[in-house]
Chains A and B, each alone.
Chain A
Amino acid sequence: MFNYTFQWKQALARLPQMLDGALVTMQIAVLSMVIGILLAILLTMFRLSGIRVLSAVSKTWVEIARNTPALFQIYMAHFGLGSFGIHLSPFASILLGITFNNAGYLTENFRGALKAIPDTQARAARSLGFGQGGAFRYVVLPQMLRIAFLPMTNQMVWAILMTSLGVTVGMNTDLYGVTQGLNALTFRTFELFALAAVIFYLITKTITLGARLIATRLFRY
């Protein structure tokens, strides 16, 4: 049919290497999400604190993360910081870049979620004897995370997809990096990247389905 000979065997023979890469990809995504969520909670609290400097830090972070390309952020984490003599390994650079991005987007999601929680709840908690921190920690936060659960799974998928940008900062152990390395050796571009695409698809599907399952278990009233 086509004037092209597919050599799937060459690609399939490298599957174990690619699966190892997929593991690294998962690692980066999970770590960047966990740290990203923690940072986003912190940034949300900054925003709520009413202290001008903290609020400005939070706003600047969110706007830069949301209004520049992720590729730019990752490149900056490696070569931008490098200009100041701060040297991060490719793994740390990509992790920092994605975490920065995650935290920015998640803070915005959390802000949206907070709007859905009536003020009266925090006030009720305060009148029950909770401190300001306690009211946030035990009453507002759990609801906020619940409302923002769907956007959080979306961000997780984004984090997975963003790992593919690591090659620009010398990453060669994640799924995309491994695939590109194999491509340089064999030049079976289509076969190798098609296989990588399938693996990426399976990973993201597993995450979204898993999240949906968790959601139905966790959030029934």
Chain B
Amino acid sequence: MFDTALTAADFAFLARGAGMTIVVTLISVIAGTILGIVFGVFRYQVGPIWAAPLTFVLDVFRSIPLLIQLVLANAFLGTILRLNMSGFTVACIILSLYTAAFCAEIVRGGIEAVPMTTRRAARSLGMTWGQDMRSIVLPLATRVALPSWIGLALGVMKDSALVYIVQVTELLKSTQILITRLQEPLLLLMICGAFYFVISFPLARFGGYLEKRWSND
């Protein structure tokens, strides 16, 4: 097992792939969260009927395999609209929207968890809608939503393994490239899996801890 043809250059290659995984994830999670908050608040504010088109679109993102979303977006943006976009851009756009679709649900759930009476009390104290949202809803909803959001962010990191389909060389793809050359599938796959695990596990634990701590009071 320790008798391996893996060189320092190969580790650097894997590290570049891991870096790509992290970059794509960070961009998508940040953009997706901002969009998700906007969509979530919008959906809650305008009510189910006016939000129906948005609800439908977000639902589509949650009901179709990510792989197909990427292939379709790539074909649509590139082949049909002839926009000259890199695979990286396409991957980030789709992953952001994918994140936003799930994040909107989390945000809506968070807002709904804030008791209406609390918000009415805030408004009757003379707070504006913005103040109510910022000082009352935001802190309370965050408590409900943060653990799920951490789960979502980690999910996006794991799902980012699929962006290889639009020619982005992330961690799993780099691993496959090395397997092609070195033919040590087991060792390489172990390294790759360990990397995901090392990032995901502590954060998932942290999310679980927050959930436990915040649900008691």
Chain A residues proximal to chain B, CB less than 8 Å: 2-4, 63-64, 66-72, 75-76, 79-80, 82-83, 157, 161-165, 176, 189-190, 193-194, 196-197, 200-201, 204-205
Contact of A2 among B80, B162, B201 (CB under 8 A): B80
State which of B60, B68, B172 has its C-beta within 8 Å of the C-beta of A71: B172
| Residues of chain B with a CB closer than 8 A to A66's CB | 200, 204
B79 within 8 A of A: yes
Assess A75 versus B189: contact at CB under 8 Å? Given A69-B172, A70-B158, A193-B72.
Answer: yes
- Partner of B79 from the list A4, A69, A196 (CB cut-off 8 Å) is A4
Residues B64 and A76 in contact, CB atoms below 8 Å apart? no
Q: List 30 A-B contacts (CB under 8 A).
A: A2-B81, A63-B197, A63-B204, A67-B154, A67-B158, A67-B204, A68-B158, A69-B159, A70-B158, A71-B162, A72-B192, A72-B193, A76-B189, A76-B193, A79-B179, A80-B186, A162-B65, A164-B68, A176-B67, A176-B68, A189-B71, A190-B75, A190-B79, A190-B80, A193-B75, A197-B68, A200-B63, A201-B64, A204-B63, A205-B63
Chain A contact residues, majority secondary structure = helix
**Bound-complex Cα distance A189 to B165 (A):** 13
Question: When the two chains form their complex, are residues B193 and A176 in contact, meaning their CB atoms are under 8 A apart?
Answer: no
User: Which of A68, A193, A194 is in CB contact (< 8 Å) with B196?
Assistant: A68
Separation of A204 and B101 alpha carbons in the complex (Å) = 16
Q: Judge if B178 is at the interface, Cβ distance under 8 Å.
A: no
Contact (Cβ within 8 A) A196 B189: no
Given contacts A71-B161, A79-B189, 11 further A-B contacts (CB under 8 A): A4-B82, A63-B204, A67-B158, A68-B158, A68-B193, A69-B196, A72-B193, A75-B172, A79-B179, A163-B65, A200-B65
Instruction: Find out whether the CB atom of B68 lies under 8 angstroms from the CB atom of A196.
Output: yes
With A201-B60, A201-B63 known as contacts, the answer to whether A68 contacts B72 (CB < 8 A) is no
Q: Tell me whether chain B's interface is mostly helix, strand or loop, or mixed.
A: helix
Report whether B82 and A3 are in contact in the complex, using a CB–CB cutoff of 8 Å: yes
Q: How large is the interface on B (under 10, 10 to 19, 20 to 34, 35 or more residues)?
A: 20 to 34
Chain B residues in the interface with A (C-beta under 8 A): 60, 62-69, 71-72, 75-76, 79-82, 154, 158-159, 161-162, 172, 179, 185-186, 189, 192-193, 196-197, 200-201, 204
Q: Whole-angstrom distance between the alpha carbons of A8 and B63 in the complex?
A: 22
Task: Please determine whether A67 and B68 come into contact, CB atoms closer than 8 angstroms.
Answer: no
A69-B71 CB under 8 A given contacts A63-B201, A64-B197, A80-B186: no
Contacts of B154 in A (CB 8 A): 67
Q: How far is the CB of A195 from chain B (nearest CB, A)?
A: 10
